[in-house]
Every structure is written in C-alpha cells, then in structure tokens.
Structure 1
Amino acid sequence: MADTLNDTPFIPQTVTPPEKPLGMVRGLMQMIANPLHVWPRAMYENPYHGVRWIGRTFHYFRRPEHMKAVFLDHPDIFRKSQFQKKLVGPALGEGLLTSEGEHWKFQRRAASPAFRIDKLRELAPAFASSAEATVERMKAKAKAGPIDVMAEMQHATLDVIVETILGGADPNFGFDRIATTVEDYIQTMGKPDMLDMFGTPNWVPRPWGGKGRRAAEGLKQSAVNAIERRQKSGEVAFP
C-alpha cells in the first residue's frame, strides 16, 4: 500500500517477539533499550499471559473483561506497582494512572463525564484540525528529505492537548521547548533503569534524577501557565 506523501511502499517498523522469556542479563538490557523486545510471543497470542522474571511476576491481559476486572471491579486487589508510579508519577502526580483506592475512584468519577461519546464528538474538530495541520507539515518537510515521524506525532499530540484540555492555543507554550522537555523526561525518569528492575527504592539517588525532575516541573509549569492565561483571557473554550 502506498503512503499519502509519495508512491514509495510504506512498511511500518515492527519487532519479532522472543519465543520464550529472555535471560536476566539480556532481558534487562532489552528492557532498558525498548520493552517491546522483551514481551514474549505468548503475550500477543493468549488472552492472558504471566511470566516470572527477576523475582516478580508480570501479568499481561488482552481481553476487555479482564481489564475491567483489574481496573474497575477489583482495584483493591490489583495494586499499581511502584515501578509504574516511578515512571509516570513525577509528571502526572496523583492522577488516574498512579492513584489508588478512594482517591482513584474520586478521580475516575470526576473525569468520566468528559469521556462520554457526546463530549468526545464535540472534540472531533480539534482532532481533525490537528491531523490536517500535521499532514501539511509532513508534506512540506517531505520535499527536503526524510521526516522524523515521532516528532510530528508529538507535535500533533501537544496540539490536541493544548486545544482541548488546556483550553486553546497559547503563544507562550512553545512546541519546540515543550518537545525537548518531554524528551528529557522520557530519557531520564520516563524509562526503566537497572535500579528499577531490581526494585531499588525511589529515594535512592539516580545520576540523571535532577534532569528528569526539572523536566517534570517544567511540564507542570507550562500547563499551569496555559490554564492561567486561558482563565484571564475570558475566551470561550473549544469548541
């Protein structure tokens, strides 16, 4: 199938999953480089797959009813791991992805109305506008050579976040600056390291921790600034 920019056949990148769990050393190295190379083939083929690795059991679910049981029906039994909280907590705080118990239930109830189908339909124009702008940027850049698709997808995602969640375009938001901050966070605190794999407590200093914390604070402050600007402007939120 040809892509939309030229007639060159488009073949997306993929990974070949291992037939069985990797050994500890190789698995740790692959987990740090790219977790997709660690997930075994059975995880993609079975409704449920559990594997014991470096002293802990990892559970993989694929069916909606299983996910409902974990996230909604029995959140008191299936607790969020410290590993997950460490990766996303500094940027998201006590949000839906990190909170538990009554606090999680409160946040879920508060956020639920925003995900009703009628509300999502109201946001469709913002999604479409971002997609159209992304296509135009990629068409223009394709004339000069290969395109960094990851950067374009980050740009599109930030466009939607600013327009729908933060209430409209902020001239001071600075996509390039925010994209760099996001990349700093992902490369430091947003990816597993060797200490995480062995369950080292989060209070143990990491050499890269300072850069990651600064990135997380930068993201939070950018969001706060955009929200305050919108509130002061008195403009009507999208749509």
Structure 2
Amino acid sequence: MTNSTDSTRTPASQTLFRGLDVVDAVAAGALTVQDIADRTGLAFSTTHRLASALVQARYLQFEPRRGYRLGPRLLELGFAAYRDSDVTRSARAGMEQLAEQTKDTIHLAQLDGDEIIYLDKIGGQRPISVNSRIGGRKPVCSTGVGKALILDEDEDKWRARYAYDAERGNVRVPLDTWLAAMRSYAAGGYTFDLEEDAPSICCVAVPIRDVSGQTVAAISVTGTTDYTDEAQLRALIPVVRRVAQTISEKIGGRLG
C-alpha cells in the first residue's frame, strides 16, 4: 500500500497525489485496476477513474491483454529532465573519456531515498556486457556508486542503510566486514563493488561534489571479472578521481 497520507493534503491536492500514486503503482508492476487499488489503498471506482484519465493524458497506456503500463508522456518528461540535469550535462564528456580509456561500462548515479538511480550510462566495448539502464534503480550498500554516494554519512546512518538492504536480501557481506570496508573507502575517497551486487561484476566509483561540498552524484567504471581484477580497479582510482574532480569543478565544487 502507498505511503501517501490523504489526511495531510488539501482536498484540491488529493486528486493530484492519488493520480501520482496510481502512476507509481503501475511503475512498480501493477497491471490491472484491482492490482493498482490493492497497492494504493484506493477504492476500485476511484482507481478506475484516475487510471482512465491518466491514459487519456498519455501518462499511462492500457492494452486489453497486457494491462496498464507507463505511457509515452512520462518518457518525454524523463528525457526532458535528463537533458536539463546540470550533473548529467557536466558529466557526459568525462564519461566519454573514461569509456574510451577503459573500454568498460561507465555509470553516473544519484541517491534517491533508500536506492540509487542511474542518471546516465555508456555501455562497454567488451564481449560481456553489464546489465543496467538509465533510470534503473539498485541497492545502495552493494553497489560501488551506492557506497560512493554515502561516504560522508556517519556510521549510524551506514548501519541503518545496511539494515534496510539486508532486510531485502540485497547485501551478502557481513556487517562488520562491510563497515570496515566503508571506513577504508571514506578515508580514500573511492569505493569498490567486488561482485557484491551481481556475480562477475566489479567496479570502482568516486563521488561528485557541488559547490557546498555535498555529494550530488557518483561516477563509476564497471567491468567483469573476466577482464578486471582488484589490482586493476586500484589502478583506476586516480583515473576516475580526476574525471570526478573535473565534473565537480564544472558544477562549482571540488572533491577536496
């Protein structure tokens, strides 16, 4: 059920927020009106009315045998947001530089609550590809970019994030081992993913900071263990740091 709280909303805003709840439910996999109603807690008739209006406005699509799915208007808005992102625009040249130099997959990501979201990606040139997509979400504690995005948080927050991901089966490293690695990463200003998120996938990531010194994104080089080992990842740390520094400077910040 949705976390929305209608009691805190004005009557004029309730329809808007309920409509957004319907879109979120479809994005999470709800296919039928009953699925959406169950996930949002809305009445069936209200759900049907909102879903029909969203189809008419192209925010949702409906096919009789497939059910509801996200509509083309969301795709248009997503690309508009992508084009308007200062971080994405500022990072693109650096990502292309890393892609050319390493032949591996390059990711740009931001923190979004308890997950990370990929803002941009350049696919690798290796025979084995990395399965990820722009707009895709991943856990924080098992990914290189996720760990890079939380390097400045205190240990209590790290523990809370670990507990969140562990409850969902998204971390395979014991807490003490993970915390020790995070302390080392925080001191060095980089992070690794050593097959923690997916078998045979490894990466090195570095945070990107804005003018206030806050981490606003992270950039990573991601490869497979067929071509990359930990020694090679360590050799890439200064390379990725230089690119992250350049991106940070473009948005008025610096790595420190």
- TM-score category (smaller protein): under 0.3
TM-score between both structures, scaled by the size of structure 2? 0.26
Q: TM-score, normalised by structure 1?
A: 0.28
Structure (1 or 2) with the greater helix fraction:
1
